[in-house]
Structure 1
């Protein structure tokens, strides 16, 4: 083994330890019997039992999952359309402006985004009577606003790498524009769409700042509930909850990677 390969191996191991040691520590301490999260008291699953008996956390988790699922789906629909237009429409008047509008949420501080959306919803309620108050609807709209930007960038970059000869061959064989999009383009970029959906789902599920601005009483998301709890000290229930979320995300990522690899092998 050469010196360079040993250095690269050591760097990779060090990087993985840096990334995953805190997560492993959290998972281990979720089985801690002690009430003190920093003191080991033996193995136990009591905090998982306490977690599933905590109705506040269960309700918040259901709200977050519902919001994240709807947000990811809407973000994929709007993001795919935006990415396709920017990639396939060529030059048109105002393209730079449209591109800037789409990518602006990527660089905008979340505090500014949340405050501006709150003011927008208040103004719309006064003028139109909708949305009535702040709740799940306003959170979904707010999350879709910035999540679709990530999907659009992913889809646009994938379309930029797409071999145009495939679409040209389909058109030469008589494919109509809508058939070309649904039967040729979409299947090819499906790995990017799946990646965009997962990213949007994760961003929505993880968001705290924007949701704090646009949500109302009785519609708190899971990050909001967790943040309110840790302000008075970390509860072992939070470790159990985080472990379950890590497991769900890991299963989703593995399934997505398997699906994308399957698509690539077919193509």
Structure 2
């Protein structure tokens, strides 16, 4: 019995090293004095100062955060409506088509999605004169489009597990279907909504392929900015920015784990 346990532990640490050693290397080289990332010249924090003085890179960060925030909001809102239609309205006409249209972005290559949206925006400009130019608005529409598919999967899976007796009890007590949905269903599926929002936010913040098709002058997001700079050589400022993002994500993950642990402890004490 010892051999399988040792093998599993060994494979676990190999997998952890494969995932996190590159991140550790990136963090270390963000404190490198040298501009060359392959040459160690001593410890320094100057690249963090250079990062915050780089107006172009910091503007790209705020643009990406803004687009990701509004894309996640739109994706959750559309995902809730699509999930309710797919799980609560039975086998209505067009249900299979709606389900296929929602699931298509999950398996479709990003290049195809980006190109199709670009052609859509060009055609709309010729027909109705909107959008006059590609920018943050077109990126937001594009990101909300493909993020909605992921949000719908997360939310609909939770709605399928929801006991309908809660809604029936609320309506028996005089609540309208809308009021029952807002006061009963939404609080129950709130963890799924938060998960869908975080997933959509991450996907939007990480996207480079679709955004490169639908972006325009003055609307460069962070992934496009990083991709463009990396082609000319990895800048230590990019390492510093990546280190800050890793730190923020780690702190948020730790906080969520701590809150979940406290909640489980309270539930055990209540029992």
Task: Please report the TM-score for the alignment, with normalisation by the length of structure 1.
Answer: 0.92
CA contact (8 A) 1:191 1:260 kept: no
Q: 1:258 to 1:141 in 2, by over 3 A?
A: farther
Q: Does the alignment pair 1:232 with 2:250?
A: no
CA contact (8 A) 1:31 1:44 kept: yes
Aligned-pair CA distance for 1:261 = 6.9
Aligned-pair CA distance for 1:255 = 4.7
Give the Cα separation in 2 of the matches to 1:163 and 1:78: 22
Give the Cα separation in 2 of the matches to 1:254 and 1:190: 20
The residue aligned with 2:15 is 15
The residue aligned with 1:133 is 133
Aligned-pair CA distance for 1:256 = 5.0
Give the Cα separation in 2 of the matches to 1:196 and 1:18: 28
Give the Cα separation in 2 of the matches to 1:263 and 1:77: 28
Aligned-pair CA distance for 1:30 = 0.9
Aligned-pair CA distance for 1:36 = 1.2
Aligned-pair CA distance for 1:160 = 1.6
CA contact (8 A) 1:71 1:143 kept: yes
Which stretches of structure 1, 4 residues or longer, exceed 6 Å deviation after superposition? Answer: 259-266
Give the Cα separation in 2 of the matches to 1:157 and 1:80: 11
CA RMSD of the aligned region, Å?
2.0
The residue aligned with 1:175 is 175
The residue aligned with 1:67 is 67
Give secondary structure in 2 for the equivalent of 1:218.
Answer: coil
The residue aligned with 1:250 is 250
Give secondary structure in 2 for the equivalent of 1:189.
Answer: helix
Q: Aligned ranges for residues 92-131 of structure 1 at < 5 Å? A: 92-131=92-131
5+ residue gaps, structure 1? none
Q: Aligned ranges for residues 156-171 of structure 1 at < 5 Å? A: 156-171=156-171
The residue aligned with 1:150 is 150
CA offset digits 1:81-123 (Å, max 9, x no partner): 1112111111111111000011111111111111111111111
5+ residue gaps, structure 2? none
Give the Cα separation in 2 of the matches to 1:98 and 1:257: 36
In the comparison of the two structures, how many residue pairs are matched? 266
Give the Cα separation in 1 of the matches to 2:139 and 2:186: 29
